[in-house]
Homo-oligomer: A and B are copies of this chain.
Amino acid sequence: MRLRELGEDKLLQKILPQLHRNNRVITGAGDDCAVVRFRGAKDLLLLKTDCVVENIHFAPNTDARAVGWKAMMRTFSDFAAMSGVPEFALVTLAIESKRELSWIEKLYRGLNRAAARFRVAIVGGETSDTRGSTVVAISAVGYVERDRCIWRSGGNANDDLFVTGRLGGSVRTRHLKFVPRIDEARWLTSHFHIHAMIDLSDGLGTDLPRLAQASKLGFIIEQNALPLASGCSVEQAISEGEDYELLFALSPRNRESLERSWTGAFPKIPLTRIGQLTAKREIEKPKFPAGYVHFRQRR
């Protein structure tokens, strides 16, 4: 069987359960970040790797500064999803040796600017020759307090589902410029008991089912409530991906209090209740198209 017939999720489902673990691992592959214990530290250590690939995630003529920014921020967005704080980043670059040095300098300018935005130190840069697409892989390491780590799996039936920002249309330009919702996630977990959270990288149509499945629940979405980016249809908002907004679940008890205090803290960022988690037996087959999945749909 070839990779493209399987898709990334199914591939990982096949491989991940077989990976070697040890007794310091709290969460291995399968959530936004890995969560592990580090010798004698009270806080948890978060680990995440991600990559952007030429001709897949960016076009050959894309400004290298934007490529660097996006590569770094995609990884940070996974820290936001766990309410974590990235502190250190490693860069692995595979690039053809005939490329201009100035491209790499611009790439690093973008990486550096993104790292500085969140006071992250870039502590390693490995570079190799390749034949074909440039690959920029970022690994980041950070922390989250034990009582503030949010998994995908903590949702309860009847929890309200909220998203930050607006959905859809990111593929035009926003996917190269976005700022991951780290500050917002940290604010959420310092003020509320968030049950489950994920960042919308592959689109609501893919990421919401992931959160619901991890929580062993179904969900109901009020499509009319979706916060559409200007000029976007409901379908685009659901399936385009690369929004890098937060999707989270919390008890309906906290809804009013959340909506009131959010507006005070982040007056410019919409926060929208888009539906709720439901007991498994009520699950409705999602009517909407799935978001972007590697090896299946390609832009």
Contact = CB atoms under 8 A, between A and B. Distances in A.
Contact of A139 (B16, B45, B90): B90
Contact of A105 (B4, B14, B36, B90): B14
A221 to B, nearest CB: 28
A224 interface: no
Contacts of A49: 90-92, 124, 126, 137, 139
A139 B123 CA distance: 12
Interface residues of A, number: 85
A56 B24 CA distance: 35
A124 B28 contact: yes
Contact of A57 (B22, B28, B41, B128): B128
A57 B130 CA distance: 9
A19 B68 CA distance: 13
Given A38-B38, A45-B141, A131 B132 contact: yes
Given A36-B88, A122-B29, A124-B34, A94 B53 contact: yes
A206 B108 CA distance: 26
A283 B100 CA distance: 35
Interface string A27-63: 1110001101011111101011111111111000000
A149 to B, nearest CB: 14
A212 B129 CA distance: 26
B40 A43 contact: yes
Given A3-B98, A90-B139, A139-B90, A123 B34 contact: yes
A183 to B, nearest CB: 17
B47 A43 contact: no
B130 A131 contact: no
Given A18-B112, A42-B39, A90-B49, A123 B28 contact: yes
Contact of A51 (B98, B119, B126): B126
Interface stretch (A5-13, A158-166, A231-239, A246-254): A5-13
Given A49-B90, A49-B91, 16 more contacts: A2-B98, A2-B101, A4-B98, A20-B115, A22-B121, A28-B123, A36-B123, A39-B41, A45-B45, A45-B141, A47-B124, A49-B139, A90-B139, A92-B137, A128-B135, A129-B295
8 contacts: A3-B100, A3-B101, A3-B129, A20-B112, A20-B122, A29-B122, A29-B123, A33-B124
